[in-house]
Amino acid sequence: MGRPKKEHSLSRQDVIAAAIAGIDQDGAAALGVSRVARRLGIKPPAIYKHLENGAALQRATAITLWERYLTECQQTLADRPITTDLLKQLGHFTRNFAKTYPGRYQVMMQVQLQPQDPEPSVIIHKLLAFLRQALSDYTLTDTQLIDVMRMVNAAIYGFIAIEQAGLMTIERSPDESYEVMLAGLLSAIATISKNSE
Amino acid sequence: MGRPKKEHSLSRQDVIAAAIAGIDQDGAAALGVSRVARRLGIKPPAIYKHLENGAALQRATAITLWERYLTECQQTLADRPITTDLLKQLGHFTRNFAKTYPGRYQVMMQVQLQPQDPEPSVIIHKLLAFLRQALSDYTLTDTQLIDVMRMVNAAIYGFIAIEQAGLMTIERSPDESYEVMLAGLLSAIATISKNSE
DNA sequence: CACAATTAGTTAATAGTGTTAACTAAATAT
DNA sequence: ATATTTAGTTAACACTATTAACTAATTGTG
């Protein structure tokens, strides 16, 4: 058999969509050439017509997941009043996201993006803009904002990673620890803000 | 050939040691049954005489790495005076460790430990004891200490993870951001401490 | 419309991974 | 001295990624 009808042929986006569906269903391990091909009903080599190789499939999928996460995040928090509380809500949104889609979260974390691609920096700048909004109460210089973004992201993503790795077996509710951490981050931001005056 | 002389036969620890050597040399991807077997000069199935399967090899290696990291950390910071500054030093030690042994760090992060094993909880308690020392200036309840430990670990490990994932391309020195974060964490801890009075 | 070019898929083949089963012979225990 | 244990072996199977050669349907152009 040769090339099928146009309407039945696949696009790069279809492949990525299938990859994400697989991740949701079977976890991050489903993100591979064979698994995705099987899910699409094609043979593994056909994947290479749409993406350079397996690593490219992983990167492209991770980038798409980051973008979806960001837009979903913005949509969810769009209506809320812009207060410092927004940071806490960002924290909760992210943790809920990770609980709802553990596979997606794992992929977003462990697939390392190449700085050569333009997408990662776009994502970072979007995140930066979003945080600037959420932290408009504090007077922060541009560099301080970067520092704060790095700290907030590190804390949130680190916390969830540790939680998902099964390292919170000790007797203390992760929910409450998370709440304490988010509050702590706010006071840390306040301190950083004061340093600029 | 059959069983070799006792002195030439391998122990479980030898296998793990070879795995770590491979990780240091070729990165986290070297942590597999085949690669480790090749390094030991034996055939892959022989590994199963020492460890249940590939996943067990990964877990056992990760646990050993955690233990070594902890003892090395304690040794390095043993002589220093016990001040709040110790937390910053812990932060720097960990980041240096991750830079010196990126493969080890990756394995420690991405291999998810099972709560069934006793080792992980031992590790957690060691970390807890260490942090209690480092934070003896603050008056913290036991639960607060757990919260603080989770926050500090999340922030440090998250920061390094983001850095190693290549997500700090924006123009701002990661070193300085890290310094700001560690200082911020201290003020966050101070705030948490006040809540108990 | 017809013919050429493109291309999304195929099969075949290679190399790597993890794992199980059956076996072998050296070391150990009785 | 004999029996048992066991660290290794080989053989086999399943799965993964990847390349090369091919095929035929679609698309573009005279």
| A74 close to B (CB below 8 A) | no
- Where on the phi/psi map is residue A166: left (φ > 0), alpha (ψ -120 to 50), or beta? left
- A67 has pLDDT over 50: yes
Residue A114 contacts B, CB cutoff 8 Å: yes
pTM of the model: 0.91
d(CA A80, CA A85): 9
- N- to C-terminal Cα separation, chain B: 71
CA distance A158 to chain B (A): 4
Which of A109, A151, A172 faces B181 most closely, judged by CB atoms? A151
In chain A, pLDDT over 90 holds for what percent of residues? Answer: 67
State whether residue A151 sits within 8 Å of chain B by CB: yes
Weakest-pLDDT range from A26-35, A75-84, B128-137, B149-158 = A75-84
SS3 state of residue A82: coil
Give the contacts of B195 (CB within 8 A, at least 6 positions apart): B144
Question: Which residues of chain A does B115 touch, with a Cβ-Cβ cutoff of 8 Å?
Answer: 166, 169
Q: Does the pLDDT at position A1 exceed 50? A: no
Q: What is the pLDDT of residue B83?
A: 62
pLDDT in tens, A125-178: 888 888 888 888 889 999 999 999 999 999 999 999 989 888 888 889 999 999
At residue A68, what is the residue type? Answer: R
> Domains in chain A, please, with CATH?
1-51 (1.10.10), 66-194 (1.10.357.10)
D strand bases under 7 Å from protein CB: 5-11, 15-21, 23-27
* Beta carbons of A88 and A182 less than 8 angstroms apart: yes
Residue to mutate among B191, B193, B195, with most A CBs inside 10 A, is B191
CA distance B75 to B77: 6
Tell me, yes or no, if B170 comes closer than 8 A to chain A by beta carbon: yes
Tens place of pLDDT per residue across chain B (197 aa): 455 666 678 999 999 999 999 999 999 999 999 999 999 999 999 999 999 999 999 999 999 999 999 999 989 988 776 665 889 999 999 999 999 999 999 999 888 877 677 887 888 888 888 888 888 888 999 999 999 999 999 999 999 998 988 888 888 999 999 999 999 999 999 999 987 66
